[in-house]
A and B are shown apart, each in its own frame.
Chain A
């Protein structure tokens, strides 16, 4: 999808929205599968976002400064018997971009975007 400069794609808005919601609910950080499941539940979609689509978007958003990530300590994953996770967090720039993007969508469509009703603290 071609976009205008500075405009977020729907999947990026969705990731930011879901990620912020997870952070508000106490998950300080989230991994790829978790945010994909959250997005699917919020949108009522039967399928999760495809691997390629999701991780391409996450990488692009991190490069743009909308997200930041770190790799989990391998010992934690090993202790839990699973591969280590890459943990993401929505940045302040990401939260601002979501707010700006949502305003644009509301004014364009005349209705609030689903999942935008909740408002919580902006992450540091």
Chain B
């Protein structure tokens, strides 16, 4: 493999990176075949290595704008169904898995952290120990979880019209987070439970309206 062939091959690897595996493999194989055929044809015609490199390099450079345009077209054609799915949420009201992953992970982490805080708080209370975690930090985190949870609930309801699935998860996650850090007050957890139920119900209705 000559230097110019390696250069072209690396370029093809670069602009096909991130495409579907079959699309990527086909383009790479097709260019590899072309490079080999041109090299063989020029060798058979008695051309020098320098002339061959110049010819291949010229074809490569002249085609770069079209390589980039091809890549952009592949990307946009691949993204179009995703965008349509996001505009028209699925019938079950939970939207695409990809759109749900981030808010779901955020909600799980928030609830998990809140749960750990509650457990630590209870151990301290039962054992009547001095605080394992400095009170100022515990209070700050507790307040952060409460404010963050309430904010997430509000944001979830606000974005629900556009993205019902993500909105429902953010709203429910926020409400449950606020509930966990205020569990001993009884009323907030009940309200949070009702809010979660309402968020899911509203998201399903919005999704059904969007799909029809």
Contact = CB atoms under 8 A, between A and B. Distances in A.
B33 A32 contact: yes
Nearest to A36: B34
Interface in B35-63: 36-38, 40-41, 55, 58-63
Contact of B30 (A37, A47, A49, A86): A86
B198 interface: no
B180 interface: no
Contact of B33 (A37, A50, A53, A86): A86
Interface string B10-32: 00000000000000001101111
Contacts of A83: 29, 32-33, 36
B65 interface: yes
B119 interface: no
A85 B33 contact: yes
B188 to A, nearest CB: 57
A33 B34 CA distance: 5
A47 B63 contact: no
A33 B41 contact: yes
A11 to B, nearest CB: 10
B2 to A, nearest CB: 15
Contact of A47 (B27, B62, B64, B70): B62
Question: Binding site of B, secondary structure by majority: helix, strand, loop or mixed?
Answer: helix
A84 B34 CA distance: 10
Contact of B59 (A49, A85, A86): A49
A52 B67 contact: yes
Given A56-B70, A82-B36, A83-B32, A50 B41 contact: no
B63 A50 contact: yes
B66 A52 contact: yes
B8 interface: yes
Contacts of B27: 55
A56 to B, nearest CB: 4
Interface of A: 31-34, 36-37, 47-56, 59, 71, 77, 82-86
29 contacts: A31-B37, A32-B34, A33-B37, A33-B41, A47-B58, A47-B59, A50-B58, A50-B61, A50-B62, A50-B63, A50-B66, A51-B8, A51-B60, A52-B65, A52-B66, A52-B69, A53-B63, A53-B66, A54-B34, A55-B31, A56-B67, A56-B70, A83-B29, A83-B33, A84-B29, A84-B33, A85-B33, A86-B26, A86-B30
Given A37-B41, A51-B60, A59-B70, 20 more contacts: A31-B33, A32-B34, A33-B37, A36-B34, A47-B55, A47-B58, A50-B59, A51-B63, A51-B67, A52-B65, A52-B66, A53-B62, A55-B27, A55-B31, A55-B34, A55-B70, A71-B26, A77-B33, A83-B29, A86-B29
